[in-house]
């Protein structure tokens, strides 16, 4: 219900800002997941910001990247199993725009590998799927 409310608030904001219905939908979905499809629903994602920014969009703004909090997270998140899920240099690969604040738990080994090789989750999964041993394990799991 909250996701639906957030989606509609943003959509109507764009619509009231002289956009067509199609434009409003497109602009909304640049940052707002279709209700029911947010990665937050997995329980593995967290939006993290700095208290100094809470008065601006709850701190969920690109400028978070310039805070000491963000710098620490970018440096250390992988050691705790987290990745920056939608990095700025992966906008062409991931269907979601850069979010300096959205972190996703993937486990320490995965996070460190992805961080060390500059891989987005989509790229990492593609590599894993090409690995025959991993493909076999996955097919055994689905049997």
Residues found near Zn ion in the complex (CB under 5 A): 47, 102
| Cα–Cα dist 138/81, whole Å | 21
Q: How far is the CB of 130 from Zn ion (least distance, A)?
A: 29
1, 21, 99, 140: the active-site residue: 99
Residue nearest Zn ion, Cβ-based: 102
Q: Is 8 a known active-site residue?
A: no
The number of beta carbons lying within 10 Å of the beta carbon of residue 116 is 9
* C-alpha distance from residue 104 to each of 1, 19, 25, 98 (Å): 22, 32, 25, 14
> Whose Cβ is closer to Zn ion: residue 42's or residue 142's?
42
> Whose Cβ is closer to Zn ion: residue 14's or residue 102's?
102
Q: How far is the CB of 38 from Zn ion (least distance, A)?
A: 7
Give CA 85 to chain center in angstroms: 4
Q: How far is the CB of 84 from Zn ion (least distance, A)?
A: 11
Dihedrals phi, psi of 27, to nearest 5 degrees = -65, -40
Residues acting as catalytic residues: 99
């Amino acid at each position: 219900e909250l996701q639906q409310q957030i989606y509609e608030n943003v959509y109507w904001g764009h619509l009231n800002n002289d956009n067509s219905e199609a434009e409003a939908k497109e602009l909304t979905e640049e940052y707002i997941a279709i209700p029911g499809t947010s990665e937050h629903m997995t329980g593995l994602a967290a939006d993290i910001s700095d208290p100094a920014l809470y008065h601006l969009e709850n701190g969920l703004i690109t400028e978070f990247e310039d805070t000491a909090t963000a710098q620490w997270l970018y440096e250390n998140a992988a050691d705790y199993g987290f990745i920056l899920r939608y990095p700025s240099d992966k906008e062409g690969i991931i269907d979601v725009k850069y979010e300096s604040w959205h972190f996703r738990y993937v486990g320490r080994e995965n996070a460190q590998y992805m961080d060390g090789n500059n891989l987005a989750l989509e790229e990492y999964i593609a590599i894993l799927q090409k690995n025959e041993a991993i493909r076999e394990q996955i097919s055994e799991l689905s049997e």
